[in-house]
Structure 1
Amino acid sequence: AFDIEYWLLEDLKLQRMPKPKSLAGQIALVTGGAGGIGRATANRLLREGACVVLADIDEAALASTNDELAKVYGRDFVRPVLINVTSEEQVISGFAETAVEFGGIDILVSNAGLASSAPIEETTLALWNKNMDILSTGYFLVSREAFRLFRAQKIGGNVVFVASKNGLAASPNAAAYCTAKAAEIHLARCLALEGAEAQIRVNVVNPDAVLRGSKIWTGEWKEQRAAAYKMSTDDLEEHYRSRSMLKRSVFPEDIAEAIYFLASDMSAKSTGNIINVDAGNAQSFTR
């Protein structure tokens, strides 16, 4: 009688309830969170129930993006933190602030970046160092702090690097950028080895030619790449689209989808891997 009148009905009620979202209870920190890919990634993770800390060096863009996402998902689920990834002190304090706000971290999306273009003879030491500082040292610093928290928490962790097709395929007039992106990819492989025994997964997404919404493409990079390919800036997007194997443009949401896959349990048995989201480029095939 008890089963009939209580437990079976209760079980039926539970079955009718919506299933928890795939990232419910997960805490993610996204560097470069106010840019096109960062914003799209935060939106994708929030949609799956994660709490997200947006980290960026651009204070105005950071506040705007935080407000935009908070209106959709609620202020309890998103926080801004000002981080210059080349500053060890800011990185350490940013992760400490994340732990205070949400209690810890489960996912790091290392996405902060820049782009530069110059022939090797015109590549200054300052330009070379700027690429290395942000794209190599910056990725090291945020990964190190994430690993420290992951190991203290003893519940595993997840790191996704946003690198570039240029980390695998050479490009004209971009030696500093390509080299720094290659360093990111190899750092991810090293971290995948170090983190595996603690269930810390590390994977890479390689975008290519994500023009829409990107802060990188609003600066000199667009003019520099157009000059490298001897064409007008107006023709650049079509150039990238037509040179791809699939003849398709790549958008921030496409990158965010790959990041979500690697950050979720759908890829629970993958580490040290690379997903290219470049509409197809034979030069960047990993094998």
Structure 2
Amino acid sequence: MITVDHLTKSYRGVTAVDDVSFAARPGRVTGFLGPNGAGKSTTMRIMVGLSPATSGRVEVLGGLYADLPNPGLEIGVLLDASAQHAGRTGREVLTIAARTMGLPTSRVPAMLHRVSLTEKEGDVRIRNYSLGMRQRLGIATALLGDPAVLVLDEPANGLDPAGIRWMRDLLREFADQGGTVLLSSHLLHEIEVLADDLVVIGNGRIVAAGTKQELLSSAGTVVSSADNGRLAGALADAGFDASSSGGGALHTLADADHVGRIALAAGIALTELRSADSAGLEEIFLELTAESQRESTVPEGGAAA
């Protein structure tokens, strides 16, 4: 369980995280979404003790990360797969992590196997790893202590389609066994497939949170007719705005049943009528974060990503 309670972080007068509250629950995958500079990475860094909060609190398993006597046994973390010692081998990285956590180094070969790194690849220096291999090694390090919680920032970067499918299956299995997964990603389709709950952040503030089904069902309706101008007017008369949805269709927040009744009353024949959730998470994400689509203006170390 991860609980974020009124979390705020400011850097030199810039508020990167602004009164953020949400929870990631056991047995579920929580997708943490937002544009570059929205506050995702900053929130995660505070969560795992790498950056202090200006105000507010984050609890992991009922307490502060800093108070955990052996954090790796409670929470597995992957924030930057490139932040690994380039001169060490994958096996050495896992061996050092095991010793740090007081675990037997006999766990290392099994963990390499779990993330589909071969024995030979385990003995290759990390400077010669692809980004996808580094991601697998980072996930192996996060899982090494058999934690109850995973915090992963963009873990699919560099993975090919087969690797993304592998990661999806691994995280689904972890959650199904009672683990808590907090996952940030810019791959919206993968989040849509994997996540049970969604938290969307923009300009440092939560703009939407709930189950995937709740957010998708609030997407509204896509509708079109031979005369969209007249259709938009009928919707406006009923109190619903309509905007272009591309492909010659309109988008409105009214539900499909209501839209159909409005069109019938106006004598307008429809050529398309469907729930906008079939457009997927990407359309909803872009709509929710339209005012915060920007590049980060705060340097890393004071990152607002």
TM-score in same-fold range (> 0.5): no
Q: Which has the larger radius of gyration?
A: 2
Name the structure, 1 or 2, with higher relative contact order (CA <8 Å, separation 6+): 2
TM-score (normalizing by structure 2): 0.31
| Larger helix share, 1 or 2 | 1
